[in-house]
């Protein structure tokens, strides 16, 4: 997949994102194109842009995670956008899928954001033992995820349907 380098407003390189995410950032006026492919354009519906190779954010962004960020409770809440993994309501606590009492680790893949009610209901059990279903799987944030989260764009939001397949085509 084609990747676009993202610079902070200070020109400091932050990470790479997929082409379609770069296009979304430009269309939402969150970034400007610093450097583009000559002769390659993205064309879809109302969009006709040169394929961006480097974009720069319009506003300076403090990225909440470093690459290979150490696990933290705050990081889990930011990653999950303060949404409970069990009911989707506002979460203020961090739940261990495999409870620490059963040897579960403080790790990105073993923890999710949870509301106090669900955390209390699940108690010292795994989701299976408690008969509770996860709405989404936990993931280890990449620098790209961290950047999109800092910009308020989650993994499954803000992507128009027609951008799900990148529309890069050679110019005529």
Rounded distance between C-alpha atoms, residue 51 and residue 139, angstroms: 29
Q: Are 37 and 51 in contact (CB under 8 A)?
A: yes
Q: How far is the CB of 89 from Zn ion (least distance, A)?
A: 5
Q: How far is the C-alpha of 125 from the C-alpha of 164, rounded, in Å? A: 38
Task: Report the alpha-carbon distance of residue 108 to residue 20 in Å, rounded.
Answer: 26
Give the span between the Cα atoms of 73 and 65, in whole angstroms.
Answer: 12
Whichever of 13 and 88 has its CB closer to Zn ion, that residue is: 88
- Between 55 and 84, CB nearer to Zn ion: 84
Asked if 147 and 65 count as a contact pair (C-beta separation under 8 A), the reply is no
List binders of Zn ion among 48-87 (CB under 5 A). 84, 86-87
Residues of span 120-159 touching Zn ion by CB under 5 A: none
Q: Residue 35 or 89: which CB sits closer to Zn ion?
A: 89
Name the residue nearer to Zn ion (CB basis): 26 or 115: 115
Q: How far is the CB of 65 from Zn ion (least distance, A)?
A: 24
Quick one: 37 or 81, whose CB is closer to Zn ion? 81
User: Using CA atoms, how far apart are residues 96 and 89, in angstroms rounded to an integer?
Assistant: 18
Rounded Cα distance, 5 and 151, in Å: 15
- Residue 131 C-beta: closest distance to Zn ion, Å: 14
The least distance separating Zn ion from the CB of residue 119, rounded to whole angstroms, comes to 8
Q: Count residues binding Zn ion (CB under 5 A).
A: 5
Residues 92-121 contacting Zn ion, CB under 5 A? 115, 118
Distance CA(80)–CA(136), nearest Å, equals 9
Query: Would you tell me which residues interact with Zn ion (CB under 5 A)?
Result: 84, 86-87, 115, 118
């Amino acid at each position: 997949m084609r990747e676009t380098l993202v610079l902070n407003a200070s020109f400091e390189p932050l990470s790479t994102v997929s082409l379609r995410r770069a296009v979304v950032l430009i269309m939402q006026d969150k970034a400007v194109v610093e450097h583009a492919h000559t002769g390659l354009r993205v064309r879809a519906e109302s969009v006709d842009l040169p394929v961006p190779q480097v974009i720069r954010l319009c506003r300076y962004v403090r990225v909440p995670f470093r690459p290979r960020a150490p696990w933290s409770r705050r990081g889990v809440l930011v990653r999950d956008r303060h949404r409970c993994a069990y009911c989707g309501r506002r979460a203020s606590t961090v739940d261990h899928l495999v409870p620490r009492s059963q040897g579960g680790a403080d790790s990105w893949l073993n923890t999710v954001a949870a509301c106090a009610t669900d955390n209390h209901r699940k108690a010292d059990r795994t989701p299976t033992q408690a008969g509770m279903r996860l709405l989404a799987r936990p993931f280890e944030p990449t620098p790209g995820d961290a950047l999109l989260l800092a910009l308020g764009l989650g993994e499954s939001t803000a992507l128009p349907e027609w951008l799900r397949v990148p529309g890069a085509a050679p110019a005529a």
